[in-house]
Structure 1
Amino acid sequence: MTAALVALPLAMLGAGFPVFLVLLAAATAYAVFVSDVPPTVLHQAMFGGVDSFALLSIPFFLFAGELMTSGVIARRIVALVVAVVGRLPGSLALATVGTSTIVGAICGSSAAATATVGRILYVPLQQAGYSRRFATGVIAASAGIDVVIPPSIAMILYGVVAEVSVPKLFLAGVLPGLLLAGFMALFIMAHAAIARVGGTSPFSLAGIGAALVRALWALGMPTIVFVGIYGGVFSPTEAAGIACVYAALVSALVYRDIGPRALLRLAADAMVLTAQIMVIVAAAGVFAWMLTTSGTPARLVAWIAAMDLSPWQVLLVINIVLLIAGCFIDPTSAVLVLTPLLLPIVKHAGIDPVHFGIVMTVNLSIGMFTPPFGLNLFVMQSLFNVPTGDLYRGVMPFIAVQVSALAVVTYVPAISLILVGG
């Protein structure tokens, strides 16, 4: 029976069923054929899975992100970053990384950042002398950083499942996110020196000042969120609501590029994304109940303890598992499914749950552009009809770069914990 319960979700995943159906099917089969609990427990676990105040921030952050990335705001951010790095070798590719990082601090969605930055910079990158493969790779990989840079939907979900402070996770994600961007920037400058790709514009304080003024309203949202949360003014959920109102006012009244109809359309898009996430959260609540009642986490901890692995070996094994998982499932599903399994192992090894949350999100950010099912790759293909072979070859160097950064984040916990006082 245990083998059948393992085989059922694997077979459904292989057949292409949605993740929430796979989780519900596994939990239902356990409840019917293994345990003797009444079926009403399934409903209670589903509602319990979404009964969290922190989850209220998700629709607000998604709507704010839709507003801030659908108009001229992203273009103003691009102009600012280009003005800052314009004279450096590979400046346009560097601007891609910088823009994606800032957009991540606005919307928290890797796929949205891929689409937003891709529409603006994909053609200019090729006009600047980069190959189609490189342009595809740098856009898809730099957008993966958005999973790590707060506000991050993956961090919110991890915080809820692991019962870890979301503000601490947000603060812990800042330096690792910047580290990922820094590693990519070093690789880009090395590539530009070899390929002899120069800068796009001379350095000018006046130009930077003008670009900063044009982008000031766009940069206000992440500033309000961070200052508000860490200044003790409001919680992450309240910050999300304020960010939402701020984004609507800036888009409609300051930049005036979003009218009432567009506002309703973007609200509907955010509603659909929220529903897609919440149905997985509800199903994951049932799945977590199944794991807990079956004693699976305890057995895993006992198995790992019997192997007598050191903490660094535990992290190595978990990194491999997460990198493989990220190739096939999205960060939302991976966090909700794997956290209940891995967290007891991590705690037994003496690893800080906040640090592990950052390690998990960095792993899953790499999965966003890792073949065969990295979501950012699908976005690039649908937008620009890039051949699959070019997509895969374009991201390979960036996978190596970010895995190197992952190793540093994993084995130097201070990078994640220094800002939270750990």
Structure 2
Amino acid sequence: MIWTLGAVPLTLLAIGTPIFALLLSGAVLTFVFILTVPPVALHQIMFGGLANYALLAIPFFIFAGELMGAAGIADRLIAWVLALIGRVPGSLGVATVGASTLIGAISGASVATVAAVGKSLYPGLIRDGYGQRFSSGLVSSSGAIDILIPPSIAMILYGASAEQSIPKLFVAGVLPGLLIALMMAAFVVARAVQMDIPRSGRFDLRHFLCTSWGAAPALFMPAFVLGLIYLGYSSPTEAGGFACLYAMIVGRYIYRTMSWGDIMEAAARAAMLTAQILVIVATAALFSWILTISGVPRAMTEWLQALQLAPWGFLMAVNVILLIVGCFLDPTSAILVLTPLLMPLVKSVGVDPIHFGIVMCANLAIGMFTPPFGLNIFVARTVLGVPLETIYRGVLPFAAVQLLALIIITYWPDLSLILTRSI
């Protein structure tokens, strides 16, 4: 079984095979050559992996994000952040971090944020003297904050895989996400002072009020969606549906920047992205089922118990593993494959599953912009037209900042859990 579930998938990964294909290949070979289970069970397990009510939230939130993007919401949010920052040193760089955080609270998709913020702010960053390396690294790394800011697709997938409360995961991600954003902003300010970057403007109350009025419908959306969940009026899935309706009303009737044709195009893009995610969900469920009946989770738990690791030692080991995995796999694939394996270990050492979910998401957020295969890097290369080598060098300081934040998140559980105690 080692060659079907280990050697074959790793070989396919090395040659660039899509994640769903390598998982399916390993599972099919195991069914054919090793297991005595009837082949009909293969597709039954795959479809069973999709029979989870929580997964219905994914297409809704993706569609809502596409609608808000088509309506030009990102530009209004960016203008509002710039008006708010005023004469803070490195204001444009800080605005990049702030805009990424706000857009992430709407779309929940890191790569979409990199594309939106990169198109709008990268030319200004270059014009102000930040340089290609720093600017491309800032745009690539800021988009990763979205994985922790609710609503987060990664948290929905973790909640479904680990059988944990998605509303609790959402609220647990707020403070860690803001911590990363604040640490990133502080680093940008320090670098701007060191590089003698000119201040890009001053705070003007009238201008701020005007941009606030224009951005108000967009700013209200996260509060509207999360309020429905936390006040008990809807589940995350139902709130995702309301988010789609809200986005259509804002884009079509308030901003008047979106036609019915644009809505259909956004629906088509959302359907394609949803299909890409759910096919990984189905194949990962099959792969995890085979590992489970083969006794791999039980063997790993027994091995860990024999080591007698303290919770801090276990979390350190898991951080190293997840950081390495994040360099090669996207968060969706990593969460779906690793969560069923790690959850028995998490429970055996007494780590809170909600806290562990935030730690896992924080690790995989860093993987979104670390070489060699961080998705944000390739999006930034396409959108910004910057060589990969420049982006690789540009993201390293920001990776160090987020690693420091990861240590704080990992060993300060209350940062994640304190807000969940009221739910």
Indicate whether the TM-score tops 0.5.
Answer: yes
Deviates most, 156-165 or 76-85 = 76-85
The correspondence of residues 127-142 of structure 1 with structure 2, limited to 5 A, is 127-142=127-142
For residues 269 and 180 of structure 2, the distance between their equivalents in structure 1, rounded to whole angstroms, comes to: 29
Code of the residue aligned with 1:33 in structure 2: it is F
CA apart distance, 1:4: 4.7
> Secondary structure at 1:421's aligned position in 2?
helix
With over 3 angstroms needed to count, the CA separation of the structure-2 counterparts of 1:371 and 1:400, relative to structure 1, is same
Letter in 2 for 1:29: L
Over residues 166-192 of structure 1, what are the superposed CA-to-partner deviations in whole Å (9 max), with x where a residue is unaligned? 000000000010011011011111101
CA distance in 2, matches of 1:159, 1:4: 28
1:60 aligns with 60
Are 2:80 and 2:208, in contact at CA under 8 Å, matched by a contact in 1? yes
What is the match of residue 414 of structure 2?
414
Distance in 2 between residues matched to 1:235 and 1:4, nearest whole Å: 39
- Deviation digits for residues 60-112 of structure 1, max 9, x if unmatched? 11011011123321111111111111210000000000000000000000000
| Partner of residue 269, structure 1 | 269
- SS of the aligned residue for 2:390 comes to helix
Alpha-carbon distance in structure 2 between the residues aligned to 1:140 and 1:418 = 30
Tell me how far 1:210 sits from its aligned partner: 1.6
Matched, 1:326 2:319: no
Partner SS, residue 199 of structure 1: coil
Worse-matched range after superposition: 341-350 or 101-110: 341-350
Q: CA RMSD in A?
A: 1.1
Contact 1:90–1:192 (8 Å) recurs in 2: yes
In the alignment, is the contact (CA less than 8 A) between 1:150 and 1:170 conserved in 2? yes
**Partner residue in 1 for 2:42:** 42
**Contact kept? 1:88, 1:198, Cα under 8 Å:** no
Does 2:50 align with 1:73? no
Q: What percentage of residue pairs aligned between the two structures are identical?
A: 53
Letter in 1 for 2:147: V
- 1:82-231 alignment to 2 at 5 Å? 82-231=82-231
1:358 corresponding residue in structure 2: 358
What are the residue-to-residue correspondences of 1:301-340 with 2, within 5 Å?
301-340=301-340
Partners of 2:4 and 2:27 within 8 A in 1: no
Q: Is the 8 A contact 1:70 1:116 kept in 2?
A: no
Per the alignment, residue 387 of structure 2 pairs with: 387
State the AA in 1 paired with 2:108: G
TM normalised by structure 1 equals 0.98
CA distance in 1: counterparts of 2:262 and 2:314, whole angstroms: 48
Give the secondary structure class of the aligned counterpart of 1:298.
helix
Alpha-carbon distance in 2 for matches of 1:347, 1:31: 30
Q: What are the Cα deviations for residues 191-249 of structure 1, in whole angstroms up to 9, with x where unaligned?
A: 01111113222123332222111100111211111111001111100000000011011
2:254 equivalent in structure 1: 254
Q: Structure 1: how far apart are the matches of 2:244 and 2:102?
A: 17
Q: What is aligned with 1:237?
A: 237
Segment of structure 1 superposing worse, 28-37 or 350-359 = 28-37
TM-fit CA distance, 1:163 = 0.1
Measure the CA separation in 2 of the matches of 1:418 and 1:3: 44
For the residue of structure 1 that corresponds to 2:173, the secondary structure is helix
1:41: Cα distance to partner?
1.4
Is the 1:54–1:160 Cα contact (8 Å) retained in structure 2? yes
Structure 2: distance between partners of 1:4 and 1:292: 15
* Matches of 1:369 and 1:400, distance apart in 2: 12
Provide the secondary structure at the position in 2 that maps to 1:114. helix
* Aligned positions of 1:26-37 closer than 5 A: 26-37=26-37
Using structure 2 for the length normalisation, give the TM-score: 0.98
AA of the residue aligned to 2:106: I
Segments of 5+ residues of structure 1 without an aligned counterpart are: none
Indicate conservation of the 8 Å contact 1:86/1:92, yes or no: no
Number of residue pairs matched? 422
1:49, 1:285 within 8 Å by CA — same for their partners in 2? yes
The residue number in structure 2 matching 1:403 is 403
On the 8 A contact 1:126/1:132 being kept in 2, the answer is: yes
The one-letter code of the counterpart of 2:213 is V
Partner letter of residue 75 of structure 1?
D
Range with bigger deviation, 218-227 or 203-212: 203-212
Residue 405 of structure 1: how far off its partner (Å): 0.2
* Inter-partner Cα distance in structure 2 for 1:97 and 1:5: 40
In the alignment, which residue of structure 2 is the partner of 1:282?
A: 282
Q: Alpha-carbon deviations, 1:97-146, whole Å to 9, x = none?
A: 00000000000000000001111001011111110111101111110001
* Worse-matched range after superposition: 211-220 or 68-77: 68-77
Q: Could you tell me how far apart the structure 1 residues matched to 2:312 and 2:31 are?
A: 37
Q: Write the letter of the residue equivalent to 1:24.
A: L
Return the alpha-carbon distance in structure 2 between the equivalents of residues 3 and 309 of structure 1: 30
What is the deviation of 1:3?
4.2
Aligned counterparts of 1:170 and 1:198: Cα–Cα separation in 2: 37
In structure 2, how many angstroms separate the alpha carbons of the residues matched to 1:201 and 1:28?
Answer: 60
Which residue in 1 is equivalent to 2:377?
A: 377
CA distance in 1, matches of 2:247, 2:231: 21
- Bigger shift: 1-10 or 163-172? 1-10
Q: Secondary structure at the match of 1:291?
A: helix
CA distance in 2, matches of 1:406, 1:225: 27
Q: Give the counterpart letter for 1:257 in structure 2.
A: T
- C-alpha separation in 1, matches of 2:50 and 2:140: 31
